[in-house]
Chain A
Amino acid sequence: MSHFLDALRRRAGAILVAVALLALSLPVIAQIGDTSYRLRDAEQESRARDIGKELRCLVCQNQSIEDSDASLARDLRRIVREQVEQGASNEQVMRFVHERYGDFVLLRPPFKWSTLLLWATPALALLGGVFAIWRARRRANATGIGPLELTEAERKRLADLQGDPRA
């Protein structure tokens, strides 16, 4: 163990330098990939990014189009930005994509009859739990402890054990 610590101490300088270099390189890593589509207007770009984060990449499926490097995701990113640049609202852009790819493209599923169970599951689980607790408590109250009054025989036995002074 001390051997390991010694080695660490000896190399502390090198490790520090490596960490510093890594920290410097992080922004570079973040910029890898196609950036040509980015909008010059920072506000529009952030709006486009917000929209893109709500849209599923249909090729990789568990990534949003903002996170995915698939060529379809790139095309959709471009389309979102073009529409934002032309002044479309978030809803209009979402509708454009939704009309073509259906509910599946929305990372947040819409609330409707076919998704009712999906949305209601947490509430149903909670209700089920509350019901189970309520039933268990009621049963415990009804049968758990039993009558609190001692019977005549029990009273007598207790008195014998205690050596009732009246006896």
Chain B
Amino acid sequence: MSDVAKPAARASRRKLLVYAPLGVAVAGGISFWAMLRGLQDGSFNPRGVPSALLGKPPPDFTLPALESTGLPPLVSADFRGLPGPVVVNFWASWCAPCIIEHPHLMALQRQGVPVWGVNYKDRPREAQGFLTRLGNPFTRLGVDEPGRVSIDWGVYGVPETYILDRGGIIRWRFAGPITPELMAQDIQPLLRRLSGG
């Protein structure tokens, strides 16, 4: 009270006390909105596990073929000396999202992109039934009944899709079913880039 210069400072301090929480609330609101948007268009996935294998070659492995299909099996040596990028898809007949994404794999195959499959923890007859019913997009198919090779790849659920460049290096990984948006925004541009340069 003895000081006359103080009231102005006190008023600006009070203003700060009013606006600071408001600013925090606005910042929080904007972040929350961005998060919701990201959840909606798939660019933000709080439960997503980033692949530890990006930029690396796949692990050494040998998987047997699914006899009834007559397709060649899948081994790590297949990733050497590729003419272009390949798509590797982990799937199972008991996996509902695999049915949803299946048309996209068929589309890639029609497009001439090699799609190689790993049949995860499945029964041969049911796997064959799945391919007979929905069509076979794969040019190579390995059977990983124990799921060990999939663990070496860092797979934690089916479906999972990987894109490898012609050097056999893992460039992209997605856990979950392929969607039309994913095809248009990620998969197709990346395949174009990898088969270009």
Contact = CB atoms under 8 A, between A and B. Distances in A.
Interface stretch (A17-25, A40-48, A99-107, A115-123): A99-107
Interface residues of B, number: 20
A158 interface: no
A100 B49 contact: no
Contact of B151 (A79, A104, A143): A79
B121 A59 contact: no
B154 A75 contact: no
A146 interface: yes
B6 A58 contact: no
Interface residues of A, number: 18
Nearest to B49: A104
B6 A101 contact: no
B49 A76 contact: no
Contact of A101 (B47, B49, B121): B49
Interface of B: 1-3, 6, 47, 49-53, 121, 146-148, 151-154, 156-157
A75 B154 CA distance: 13
A105 B148 CA distance: 17
Given A75-B147, A143-B3, A147-B2, A100 B152 contact: yes
A149 to B, nearest CB: 12
A58 B156 contact: yes
A61 B35 CA distance: 20
Given A143-B3, A143-B6, A72 B52 contact: no
Contacts, number: 45
A71 B151 contact: no
Q: 9 closest A-B pairs (Cβ-Cβ)?
A: A102-B52, A58-B156, A100-B154, A104-B49, A146-B2, A101-B154, A75-B147, A58-B49, A72-B156
B49 A72 contact: no
A98 interface: yes
A101 B147 contact: no
Contacts of A146: 1-3
Given A59-B156, A75-B151, A99 B52 contact: yes
Nearest to A104: B49
19 contacts: A58-B157, A59-B157, A71-B147, A72-B151, A72-B157, A75-B147, A75-B148, A75-B151, A79-B151, A100-B52, A100-B53, A100-B151, A100-B153, A100-B154, A102-B49, A102-B52, A105-B49, A146-B2, A147-B2
